[in-house]
Amino acid sequence: MATTDLRAELQCSVCKEIYKDPVTLPCGHNFCLLCINKTWNWQWQIEEDSSCPECRERFRRHTDLRRNRTLCNIVEHFLFTNPEQDGSETLCIYCNSPVSAACRGDISLCDYHFSFQTKSADCALSAKSSEDMQCSVHQEGLKYYCSEDGVCVCASCFVHEHRGHRVKFLNEAAVNKKKKLREVLEKLILGRKEAEIAVHNLKERWRELEKEAANETERVSSLFSDINDKLKALEKHLLGEISRQEGKLLIPFQTLVQQLETKKDELSMDIHHIEKLSSSADPITVLQGKEPSTFAKHWNGFLRNPFDISYLNPSVWNLDVGLILETLHTGLAGIHIGLREKIYGQQAKDMLLDIDSAGNHVVVLDNKKTFFYSETDQLRPETRWRFQHYQILSTRIFSSGQHYWEVESSESGQWDIGVAYPSIERKGLQSYIGYNNKSWCLGRVDNKYSVTHDSKEKYLDHLPSCERIRITLDYEAGRLSFYELSDSIRHLYTFTATFTEPLHAAFWVGEVGRKDEKDRIRILS
């Protein structure tokens, strides 16, 4: 009976359970620390003053709660000497829910809050271990965690410095934090995996770029070596031609010089003879010498025609510079053509349009290289190969090698040019060039360039500056490139793909030119 009376005296009037961390209010009534804090927190939320749950005496909002150490010792002694009997209901000190026998210990917890302690035995702090951790201010065991300040606190800290804060049991706070950490960890692991994939892809692309750069370096070096060899051969040929012309022209010069040298010697002899006679003092010697008329014969003839002046005519004696320059131009043009074929591939000189594939609003001229849109139906027979829309393919297909062709459009035209597999659809939206996985194209609409493949369209920054376009195809390398042929060649875009079928040149023309037949596309190759 005495034990029952004592138990009643040691019960908190709020939770109806033996005091846990008992505190005494200024009015003298005792309560569990958590119970009075929960009560006052609720009163503050409804904007009421703090009051005693028993006598209703009101207190200031920040009234200090003092721990009743004497009552605490009495409770501990009572619990030690009078363990709870079966059938007596014990409530969770946190939520007032019934406590199962398996969850009863130094701190009474319901199944839910007890799980926070037992869920992770290797990580969660037990009540005993938390008691071993002392508050540096009050020298009491750390039992709670203040989420607002991010610190572990003891009961006195809870009552004073952290009163009104969001406070949880250490184990519950730790489990909640671990849950958040696991969520963050999953995201970080996923992020790391994505980063690893990105790094792998970048390194793969890095290696591809290094390989591509090495191949291009080797190719360019080979091109320059070939150019140098051809230039040296051309130089040797031109120097040989100059030397040949020089030798041919010098032969008449040598003959004339010899003739003039002979005449000069004859004149020198006559001069010497006349001078000797003129200086002689002997009249007989003078009179017996040659008559002046004899010398005048040579002299008069020479004066009349001293030598053939036609040899001084530049048209006769100059080199044939025109032939030399023509040879130089022809040689350089040959080098340029050979270089262009090595860079862009062979020119598709036999590129013609396939009328059997032309949509019935596409007009093809007789040369089969020029076409445009027309409102007039061309009434061609419907076949499985004919496009429904304003499109047309080339007759030629490419299944290997490097090739290029050039086209020219009207200034205001809208068009698509590119390549397509023979198996491209001929009807429906999937038949448009670029709007399927069987075709690639460069387009021009509203004075803007765009590239399209598999319905993915990308606009280019470069605005059109001319109407001539070069298309280059490297089938094995899987490269399709477009160049604008203005004053200087400008690269517009390059598709990279693995081609699995032969390729036709493919074209689409818009309706801009329906009243002006000058709006057209013409194949220049």
Whole-angstrom distance, CA of residue 41 vs CA of residue 39: 6
Judge: domain 346-523, CATH 2.60.120.920: yes
Task: Give the count of beta carbons closer than 10 Å to the beta carbon of residue 522.
Answer: 17
In this predicted model, what pLDDT tens digit does every residue of 87-144 receive, in sequence order?
445 555 445 556 655 454 444 556 654 554 444 333 333 444 544 678 888 888 888 8
How far out from the chain centre does Cα 388 lie?
36
Euclidean distance between CA atoms 453 and 106, whole angstroms: 72
| pLDDT tens readout for residues 470-502 | 999 999 989 999 999 988 889 999 999 999 999
Q: Which helix (H) or strand (E) holds 155?
A: helix 155-159
Confidence of residue 53 (pLDDT cuts 50, 70, 90): confident
Give 65 or 178, the one with higher predicted confidence. 178
Q: Is pTM, for the whole model, over 0.85?
A: no
Q: Pairing relation of β-strands 30-32 and 22-24? A: antiparallel
Residue 277 is predicted with a pLDDT of: 81
CB 513 within 8 A of CB 410: yes
To the nearest 10°, report the CA torsion of 191, 195, 196, 201. 140
**Domains of the chain: which residue ranges?**
202-321, 346-523
pLDDT at 513: 46
Total residues belonging to the chain: 525
Nearest CA-CA partner of 466 in 449, 479, 451, 441: 449
Spacing of C-alpha 496 from chain mean position:
13
**Cβ atoms of 459 and 448 closer than 8 Å:** yes
Query: What is the full DSSP assignment across 235-252?
Result: HHHHHHHHHHHHHHHHHH
250 phi/psi in degrees, rounded to 5: -80, -20
Dump pLDDT digits (tens) for 10-34. 889 888 888 888 988 888 889 998 8
- How far apart CA 338 and CA 359 sit, in angstroms, is 37
Q: Is 104 buried (19+), middle (13-18) or exposed (0-12) by CB count in 10 A?
A: middle
387 or 241, which is more confident: 387
Side chain identity, residue 206: W
pLDDT in tens, 242-286: 888 888 878 877 888 888 888 888 888 888 888 888 888 888 877
Q: Is the pLDDT of residue 147 over 90?
A: no
pLDDT of residue 122: 38
Overall average pLDDT of the 189-205 stretch = 93
- Burial classification of residue 156, based on how many CB atoms lie within 10 Å of its CB (0-12 exposed, 13-18 middle, 19 or more buried): buried
Which residues contact residue 425 at a Cβ distance below 8 angstroms, ignoring those fewer than 6 apart? Answer: 431, 436, 438
Query: Could you tell me if residue 434 is left (phi over 0), alpha (psi between -120 and 50 degrees) or otherwise beta?
Result: left
Mean pLDDT of 63-81: 82
Res 231 pLDDT > 70: yes
Identify the DSSP state of 11.
B
